[in-house]
Structure 1
């Protein structure tokens, strides 16, 4: 796979996209940046080791299996680079170099750092496309960045970006004293579940007036198909103003280890590395990530994805059998569905949906997410695809209440 020879778009440069004080920053140099082997007396670590009680090995299939972290050097600071994880991600995502990857404490750290490297507080702006992931707005407020909204086209549950309106908004902002420096596209969307076509992303990337970054959040991409990822726009087509975010939380089922991923040009990745905390990814997190990205781990990952895809189809069919579920909005591209609750006349009923949400959670101990207050999601319950038994239970309890 060969990257495009000429960077695109022609007007994009780090000097325009990244804050000047960030580009001038001399990053903190930690002890492990220099040496990581030998008698390590340079980082004020505890040479006696950690103080955790030793755990006994558990028996699995007649064999002793160490499920603890006793063999890890927990008294030592972790690697600041984790090139071993990044190399395995290269193989998984068909990316040529570990230098295209940044690892963060969940995607939320990646989001926050992108704000910090691009947006001058109180001056620059960010564009989002509701309904979308709420942390974009939270990070904007924390960083004192104004949010510009261009709602998705929600007609018929399409949830597709209004590309012409987005580009018009970007072009107008480029002529103002308060430019837009970041644009977030969630694909597949949360809470929409809908994959954004690559042609739509490409049309925004090619806006000749926009000098900021386009960020495509692909937390749920493994449920849509890795071949649908915007990574190909970065690697095969060479769009240098593109950042893709992924995670091990969803498809890999490792939400608790908090490992987020940003994929971009080596130049942008270097800027993110320059401002991150020196040891942001812990040794236990790295150890579990390497296990998940091993050949055995990837085999289990792919089996689980297929099971969830089968369960997603099953759950969709069963939900639509309920008379009060009048629609499944969005496309089934993620590991959840948006079920729209109707009244006796078949019209969306927000109160009924909210009542169902509360009853399921408080009485039946079946917890879904009410999304009826978001744009284009009236009377919607977002239901995560669970095990076959969990799918049956949520359909049963929802049907009982709605009757």
Structure 2
């Protein structure tokens, strides 16, 4: 059947979701491929969603005023500074659609969040990837030097997904000052809650100083609402107005709105879970280092093994032990931090990997 479609779509890759694990040799399977929060929603959040179920025959409030006001209050900004979407990835798409015309450039480090080049291409703009620095972080000097009159948006992922590297406040501020003021600099802070680096760049601080800065946050990671899809941008009112125009109507469901509100009211409880995940991250990182595996420091809820040509063999070993991870052939492996049982399995695999790959390590 010859169905009309956009030219070049046949060469356009689909976003690849984290692989679902399969049990192996009687081992319980753990999914560590999607950076999900391993803990269930808080009871108060479940109750809020449950109460909203009786009205799902009705459209949600498109403006989501109560949630918008709550987020604005949380960050001491105005509601006119908040744009919502079905996850921060959808808000990132809004920014690209609102700020670019066909053929304009959208810059990002690479490797970084896998969706960036897909979102850019889908919007008709042109991806402008800049290789990472040797430490797995953004090469901000190279990015600043690569800006052209066609560059309209720059994504800066901090901490970077998938490497976990963090950028300092001084480095990011210097970069923003080097970029023309008509270029939107998006600080993507999907993993901000796990970032304990003392000198890290803080998106809201940069936003307050530079009107061309937008900040992306999500409820998918620390808040554990990945299945409900909720994220937002903090940006200048002029940009927020444009984002709302290109947003999918009713894209933020009533259930997501109520879950977001309840989560903001339960941040003290959520902080305890974040502390647990950060502690587990440190334990796993130290053990992987002790096992001789090439793991980088991370300020996110995942760790990056810089495994290069050994990636395939390592990925197979994880799968044989009922662990799904995110493998990037020829580059490395991203492993989400799970609950203690899952993390113990990671360490068991690390010990096997040391013996299996000793000639290559």
TM range (shorter): 0.7 to 0.9
Match status 1:161 vs 2:138 = yes
Aligned residues: 308
Q: Which residue of 2 aligns with 1:80?
A: 62
Q: Which residue of 2 aligns with 1:350?
A: 309
What are the equivalent positions in structure 2 for 1:288-367 lying under 5 Å apart? 288-294=259-265, 297-323=266-292, 325=293, 327-329=294-296, 331-341=297-307, 350-351=309-310, 353-361=311-319, 363-367=320-324
Separation (CA, whole Å) in 2 of partners of 1:71 and 1:210: 45
Deviation sequence 1:126-160 (CA, Å, 0-9, x none)? 11111111111001221222222222211xxx233
Tell me how far 1:285 sits from its aligned partner: 1.2
**1:220 aligned to which of 191, 209, 218:** 191
Q: Which residue of 1 aligns with 2:76?
A: 95
Q: Which residue of 2 aligns with 1:119?
A: 100
After the TM superposition, list the runs of 4 or more consecutive aligned residues in structure 1 that deviate by more than 3 angstroms. Answer: 65-72, 225-228
Tell me how far 1:189 sits from its aligned partner: 0.1
Tell me how far 1:401 sits from its aligned partner: 4.5
Separation (CA, whole Å) in 2 of partners of 1:72 and 1:84: 19
Relative distance call for 1:146 and 1:340 in structure 2 (3 A) is closer
**2:335 aligned to which of 356, 372, 383:** 383
Deviation sequence 1:134-189 (CA, Å, 0-9, x none)? 111001221222222222211xxx2333333322221xx22xxxx11111111100
**TM-score, L = length of structure 1:** 0.71
Match status 1:368 vs 2:314 = no
Give the number of the structure with larger relative contact order, counting CA–CA contacts within 8 Å between residues 6 or more apart.
2
Separation (CA, whole Å) in 2 of partners of 1:142 and 1:208: 25
Deviation sequence 1:89-112 (CA, Å, 0-9, x none)? 2343x3321221111011121121
**1:233 aligned to which of 181, 185, 206:** 206
Structure 2 residue runs of 5 or longer lacking an equivalent are 1-42, 356-361
Tell me how far 1:87 sits from its aligned partner: 2.6
**2:156 aligned to which of 168, 176, 185:** 185
Structure 1 residue runs of 5 or longer lacking an equivalent are 1-59, 342-348
Relative distance call for 1:208 and 1:285 in structure 2 (3 A) is closer
Separation (CA, whole Å) in 2 of partners of 1:167 and 1:185: 12
Tell me how far 1:66 sits from its aligned partner: 8.8
Separation (CA, whole Å) in 2 of partners of 1:401 and 1:208: 44
Deviation sequence 1:193-235 (CA, Å, 0-9, x none)? 0121222222232236452211111100110149852111112
Deviation sequence 1:248-274 (CA, Å, 0-9, x none)? 111111111110111111221111112
| Structure with bigger gyration radius | 1
Relative distance call for 1:91 and 1:311 in structure 2 (3 A) is farther
Separation (CA, whole Å) in 2 of partners of 1:71 and 1:149: 43
